Structure 1
Amino acid sequence: MTSVTSLPASEQEGARTSPEDPEKLEDPEKATLSTDPSETSLPNNKRVEQPTKINWLLTCVGLYLGALLYGLDTTVAATVQASVYEELGNLQKLPWVGIGFPLGSVAVILLIGKLYDTFEIKWLIIGSVTLFEAGSALCGAAPTSNALIVGRVIAGMGGAGMYIGALNYISIFTTSMQRPIYNALIGLCWGTGAILGPVVGGAFSDSSAKWRWAFYINLPLAAVVSPLYFLNFPRYNPQPEHTALEKFKQIDWLGAFLNASTFVLFILILSFQGPIWRWAAPGSIVLWVLFGLSLISYGLQQTFSILTSPERRLFPIDFLARRTLLLMFFATSSAAAATSVTLYYVPLFFQFTKGDNALEACVRLLPFIVPFVFFVMFSGGLLPVVERYAPWYFPAGVLMIVGGALMYKVSPNTYTAAIYGFEILIAIGTGLVFQTGYAVVAAKVPAHRVAASIGFINIAQIGSICITLAIAGSIFGNLGFVKLEHVLTGYGFTDSELRSALAGSFSPVFQHGDARARKLAIEAVVSTMGTSFALVFVAGAVTLVSAFCMRWEKLGLQTTAGG
C-alpha cells in the first residue's frame, strides 16, 4: 500500500535552485542538482503518495512496458506497409501509416507535458493508456486506409502520454543520483520496442494472423498490466490548491492549437508533394502559406505570451537562450533522426536486394539492436560516475558521420557483412547519446521546471523522428520516382506502377518486368535509400558540432541503488 504524506522541506532542499531565489533561477549555470540521496524534485507543500519498495517496483514494470509499447508502435509500420497496401490500397496515403503515429505524438507532446505539470499524474497516465489502446483497436479493425491513419494518430497521442508520464514519474519519485539510470532504462525499453517494431510487424504480416495483429497485440499486453496502473501507481497532485476548472483555464490552449497545426501542416506538405501535388501546384502553395502563417503565429504567440502568461505558455521559449539546453535539444534530435532512418530503411534494403520477407529483413537489424541497447545502458550507467556529459557526444557524432557516409554509398552488390558493420557504427553513436539529454537538462533547471525540460527534450526526440521520417519519405518517394522514371524509360510502365515499385516487390515492375528492368529498378531504389542515409551523416555532423560547443563541466551526479 502507499501512504499519503507531505515531504518535509528539509528533504527537498539542496544545491538545486529554489523557486524563491529569482537570481539563481535566471542563472543557467547555477541550476544544478545536489548529490544528497534524499533530494527529490518534489516541490514543497505538495501532496504525494510515497510508494513502498514493492509498489515502486511494480510501478516501474508498468512504466517500462508502456515505454516498450510506445517504441514498438513508433516503428511497427516499417514492415506492414506493403501488406496494408495490398489489402486497403491508396498508395499515396501509405507513408501516413508510418508518419501518423509520431505525428500524433509530437502534435500533443507539449500540451501533455503541461497537463502532467498541472493535474493528478496517475489519472493522466491511465487516460493515456486508454487512448493508446483505443487507437490500436481502431488500427486493427480499420476498414479503410483513412481509418487506419486516424487510429495511428490517436494511438500516437496516447503513446506520448504514456512516455511523458513515465519520465515524469521518474523525475518525481527518484533522486538526482538515481535518475540517469531510470532514464536510461526508459530509453532502453523505448529503443528495444522501436527495434522490435519492424520484427513484430514483419512476423504478423508473414503469418496467418496478418498485419492487423501487429496493432491488436497491444490490447492483451496492456490488459495484463492494467491492474498495476489502478492499484500500484502512486498519486501526485502538483497543484492541490486549485480546482479542476482553475487548472483547465491555466492551459495555453491557443499555443497547443498552433503547435499542432504547425507540425501537421509541415508533414502534410512533405507527404503530398510529388505523389499527389506537384511542387508548384496551387494546393502545394496554399499549404506552404498556411504552414508559414501557423509557424509565425506560433512564434509570436509564445514570445509575447498572447492569451497566456510567460509561466503558462506551452513552449519553454526561455530554454532557447540556455546554451546547454539548446545543445541538448540539437544533439537529442540528431540521435533520434539517425535511429529512425536506420530502423526504417535497413530492412527495406534487404527486402529489395536479398529478396527477404519482412521478418527475415528485420532479423538483419540485430547488428543494430544489440549495440544500441548496450550503449544506451552503458552511457546512462556511467554518466553519474564520469559526471561529465560532453565526452559522450564526440564519439557519437564521429560514428554517426562515418556510418551514415558508408550507408550513403551502398549498392545492391555491397557485402552483407559490410552493411552489418555500418549498422554497428550508427548503433554505438546513437546509443551513447539517445537518452542522455533527459538527465542533463533535468540537472540544469530548477526543480519546478523539470517537467518543462522533459517536454523540451521530448519535442527534440519524438519531433525529430516524425520530421525525419517525413523528410526521408519525401526523398524516397520523389527522388525514387524520378530515378525509376529515368532508368525504365521505354518499358511502358505507368506513373502509378513506378511509384508502387517503391512500396515493395508486389509492384508490376517486379512481378511482370523482365530481368533487366528488375535489375535497373532495384539499383534505382537502393540508390535512393542511400540518399536517405545522408540524413544520418548530417545528424552526426550536428552532434559533433554540438559537442564542440558544450561546456566541459560536471553535473554532480552519483550512482545509488534504485528503488
Structure 2
Amino acid sequence: MPLSAARFRALLVALLAVSFLGALDNTVVATSLATVAGELGALEHMSWIVVGYTLASTVLLPVIGRLGDVVGARSVFLASLLLFVAASLACGFARDIAWLIGARVVQGMSSAGLQLLSQTIIARTTTPRQRPKYMAIIGAAFPVAILVGPVLGGVITDTWGWPWVFWVNVPVGIVAFVLAVVAVPHLPGHGERVRFDTAGAVTMTVGLAALVMAATWVGDARLAPSAGVAAIVAVLALAAFGVAESRAAAPIVPLRLFAHRTIAAGSAVSAIVGIGLFSITAYLPTYFQMAYRTSATVSGLVPIATVFGMLVSNLVSGWLVSRTGHYRAFPLIGTALGAAGLLVMSLLPVGLPLWVPTVMMGVVGLGTGAFMSLIVAVVQSAAPEREMGSVTAAVNLVRSVGATIATAVIGGVIGFGVAALLPTGLDPTSLTPAVVHAAPDALQTQVAAIYRGVFSPIFLALAGTYALGIVASVLLPAGRLPDTHVGASPEPSIA
C-alpha cells in the first residue's frame, strides 16, 4: 500500500520509536536487576524478571503474526502498543516480585507485537526493493539498544530509582501511539471468517514454553529433573502442534510455506543470528575478564565492537540492496565473515593484546549485520501477502528460540566446564574476576588457560553454525528484488 512521502516519514518515525522501546526494555532493565531484586526481597527469583519477558515474547510471536493476518496489522499493533505502555506503568508500581514478574510477562507479550508488526507494516507499505533499506533502519534499534541500554539503565536507576526504568516507556509510548494512529494505514486482515487455530496456538505455546524452560534449567543441577520433565512436555506438545497444523484450515504457522526454497533457506539463515551471535554476546565480558585479566569496564569494549560492526553493516547492506535489488551476496559474505571470525577466536592463545579479539568479534558483527535485517525482507518478498504476518513471525521465531536455547547450552557448558577444571581450593560458586585478579600470577595464568580451554570449542562450534549458514545462503535463489508491489501469491515473488 503506497503512502505519501510525509505520511511514510511519520510512519517510519513511529515504528522506529516503537522498535527502540521494545529493544531497549531488556537492556535497560538488566542494569537495575540487582537493585530491583534487593528492594523487593527476592534475589532468588531475579532471573524470572528477564526470563518471563523473553519467554512470553518468544511464544507469542506466531500468535501475534496470525492475528495480524486475520484481524489486520494496524489494529493489533496499536493494541500491543497500548498494552506495552500499561504493563510498563504496572511494572514501576510493583510491590512484590510476583506482581513484577506478572507485569513483565504482559510486557513481553505486547513487545512481541511491537517488534513483529513493525516489520509486517513495513512489508505491507513498501515494495520488495525498498524494503531492505527500511527494514535495516527498524532493525538498527536492536544494536543501538545494546550499546546505550546498560548505561542508560544505570543512570536512571541511580538518579530516579528503578521504577523509572519502566516508567520512561510511558511518555515515549504515548507519543509513538499518537504518531502511529495518524501514520499507520488501515491494513485489513485476510481472514475470511475462518476459525482461529486455537489447537495450534495452545500446543505451540506449551511446546515452546517447555522447550525454553528445559534449555534454561538444564545447566542447574538442582533443576535437572524439572528440565527433563519440561523436555518431555516440549516433545509431546510440539508433536501435537505438527499434527494440529497439518489439519487446520488456517494454521497459525503455515508449514506448507517452508516447502518454498526462499522461505526455508532464509529461515535457516535467520536462525544463525540467534544461535551464532546473540547466544555468545552475554558471556564475552566474563571470558575477557578471566582469560585476558581485564577490568569489567575494559571487557565491555569487545561486545561494543561486535554490536557496532553489526549496526554499520546492517544499514549499509540494506541501502545497497535497495539500490541494486541484488541480495544473495550479503548473506554469503556475512556468514563467511562470521565463520572466519569465530574460527580465529577459537585458535587465539591467551596473552595477546585485547585489540586482537576485539577486531575478530568486530568482524563477526560486521558479517552478522550484513544479513540480520535483510533476510527478513527477502523472506517477506517470497511470501503471499495474506500470510505476511505469519511468515515474518516464523523467521523471527527461529531466531529467538535459537538464541534462547543456544544461550542456555553455552551457559551450561561454561559452568560445568570451568567447575570441573578449577584447581583444588577454588570454589566455582564464589569465583569472581576480582578474586582471580587478586590471586598470584601463576593461579591467574592457570584460570586464564581454563577459560580459554572451555571457550575455544564453543567458538569453534559457533563457527560451524555460521558455516551451515553459508550452505543455507547458497540455497537462496539468485535474482533481484522487484521494485513493484506484489500481490498475494504463494509463488516466488523474487524476480
**What is the 5 A alignment of 1:261-340?**
261-277=206-222, 279=224, 281=225, 283-303=226-246, 305=247, 308-309=248-249, 312-340=250-278
1:556 aligns with 2:486: no
1:258 aligns with 2:203: yes
Measure how far apart 1:138 and its partner are. Answer: 4.6
1:230 aligns with 2:170: no
* Aligned 8 A contact 2:338 2:363 in 1: yes
Measure how far apart 1:188 and its partner are. Answer: 1.9
- SS of 1:251's partner is coil
Cα offsets for 1:274-298 (capped at 9, x unmatched): 425364x4x3432222122112111
1:221 aligns with 2:172: yes
Out of 108, 111, 115, the residue aligned to residue 159 of structure 1 is 111
Out of 108, 111, 120, the residue aligned to residue 168 of structure 1 is 120
Out of 275, 285, 296, the residue aligned to residue 356 of structure 1 is 296
Q: Which runs of 5+ in 1 are unaligned?
A: 1-39, 41-49
1:499 aligns with 2:425: no
- The worse-fitting range, judged by mean Cα deviation, of 365-374 and 260-269 is 365-374
Structure 1 CA distance for aligned equivalents of residues 457 and 160 of structure 2: 35
**Gap change, CA 1:511 and 1:425, over 3 Å in 2:** closer
- The two structures have a TM-score, normalised by structure 1, of 0.75
Structure 2 residue identity aligned to 1:230: V
Out of 426, 441, 451, the residue aligned to residue 364 of structure 2 is 426
Structure 2 residue identity aligned to 1:238: G
Structure 1 CA distance for aligned equivalents of residues 232 and 383 of structure 2: 37
Aligned residue pairs: how many?
Answer: 483
Measure how far apart 1:431 and its partner are. Answer: 0.8
Structure 2 CA distance for aligned equivalents of residues 294 and 122 of structure 1: 31
Structure 1 CA distance for aligned equivalents of residues 45 and 341 of structure 2: 31
Structure 1 residue identity aligned to 2:7: N
* Aligned 8 A contact 2:280 2:410 in 1: no
Measure how far apart 1:410 and its partner are. Answer: 5.7
Cα offsets for 1:292-320 (capped at 9, x unmatched): 211211111112x2xx31xx111110122
Measure how far apart 1:540 and its partner are. Answer: 1.0
**Gap change, CA 1:221 and 1:115, over 3 Å in 2:** same
- SS of 2:202's partner is helix
1:57 aligns with 2:2: no
Structure 1 CA distance for aligned equivalents of residues 88 and 316 of structure 2: 33
**What is the 5 A alignment of 1:537-552?**
537-552=463-478
Measure how far apart 1:139 and its partner are. Answer: 4.4
**What is the 5 A alignment of 1:68-147?**
68-76=20-28, 79-81=31-33, 93-143=45-95, 146-147=98-99
* Aligned 8 A contact 2:337 2:367 in 1: yes
Q: Which runs of 5+ in 2 are unaligned?
A: 486-495
Structure 1 CA distance for aligned equivalents of residues 333 and 120 of structure 2: 29
**Gap change, CA 1:236 and 1:553, over 3 Å in 2:** closer
- The two structures have a TM-score, normalised by structure 2, of 0.85
* Aligned 8 A contact 2:34 2:43 in 1: no
Structure 2 CA distance for aligned equivalents of residues 325 and 125 of structure 1: 24
**What is the 5 A alignment of 1:192-211?**
192-204=144-156, 207-209=158-160
Measure how far apart 1:446 and its partner are. Answer: 3.1
* % same residue: 22
Counterpart in the other structure of 2:425: 490
Out of 268, 287, 305, the residue aligned to residue 367 of structure 1 is 305
Structure 2 residue identity aligned to 1:356: A
Larger radius of gyration: 1
Structure 2 CA distance for aligned equivalents of residues 392 and 472 of structure 1: 28
Measure how far apart 1:158 and its partner are. Answer: 1.1
* Aligned 8 A contact 1:331 1:546 in 2: yes
Counterpart in the other structure of 1:37: none
* Aligned 8 A contact 1:384 1:558 in 2: no
